[in-house]
């Protein structure tokens, strides 16, 4: 799991080659980008991103060109701990096509309230800034990916 670093213009990623921070523009996140310093190819995130604030969540989910699966979780929740490694796999398998964002509902209580999260884990798919599907309960990576694909298939505008 990595920290979500985001601003109004894009997602901030660290170049694996030289350590330089680069911004991947929200509207072109699915395109290949090169590091501004060393020209190494930068990849979209292949790990779940933990949102630190609800403002960061909104900056990302409201603007990114990629669909997002949001995992509402809390550290004390046993099934959430089972979902964690599965979402790591999803983030790798669907890197460049999907972002995985984690929301700790103990910390970001306002997001839990805004989206009416009553049980965790809850996973929700966002496309174009809007929630398009939601499911609750732990499941393996293959089922999470199927859930995401089904949700996006129903969206004529997405993908």
* Sheet of strand 130-136, all strands in order from the earlier edge strand to the far edge: 2-3, 49-50, 99-104, 68-73, 122-127, 130-136
18 counts as binding Zn ion under rule CB under 5 A: yes
Residue 24 touches Zn ion, criterion: CB under 5 A: no
Segment near Zn ion (CB under 5 A); pick from 36-44, 62-70, 121-129, 130-138: 36-44
CB of 119 to Zn ion, least distance (A): 42
Known catalytic membership, residue 80: yes
Here the tokens at position 116 are 């009416």
- Please identify which residue in 2, 5, 12, 20 interacts with Zn ion, judged by CB under 5 A: 20
3-class SS string, 30-70: CCCEECCCCCCEECCCCCCEECCCHHHHHHHHCCCCCCEEE
Residue 53 binds Zn ion, judged by CB under 5 A: no
Q: For residue 77, indicate whether it is catalytic.
A: yes
Residue among 4, 6, 24, 35 that touches Zn ion (CB under 5 A): 35
Chain positions contacting Zn ion, by CB under 5 A:
15, 17-18, 20, 35, 37-38, 40
């Amino acid at each position: 799991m990595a920290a979500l670093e985001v601003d109004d213009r894009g997602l901030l990623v660290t170049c694996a080659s030289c350590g330089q921070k680069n911004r991947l523009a929200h509207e072109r996140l699915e395109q290949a980008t090169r590091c501004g310093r060393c020209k190494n190819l930068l990849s979209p995130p292949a790990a779940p991103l933990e949102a630190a604030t609800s403002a960061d969540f909104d900056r990302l989910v409201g603007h990114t060109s990629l669909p997002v699966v949001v995992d509402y979780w809390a550290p004390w929740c046993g099934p959430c701990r089972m979902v964690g490694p599965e979402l790591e796999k999803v983030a790798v398998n669907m890197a460049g096509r999907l972002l995985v964002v984690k929301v700790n509902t103990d910390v970001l209580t306002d997001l839990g309230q805004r989206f009416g999260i009553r049980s965790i884990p809850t996973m929700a798919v966002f496309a174009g800034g809007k929630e398009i599907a939601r499911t609750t309960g732990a499941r393996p990576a293959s089922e999470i990916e199927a859930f995401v694909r089904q949700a996006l298939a129903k969206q004529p505008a997405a993908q």
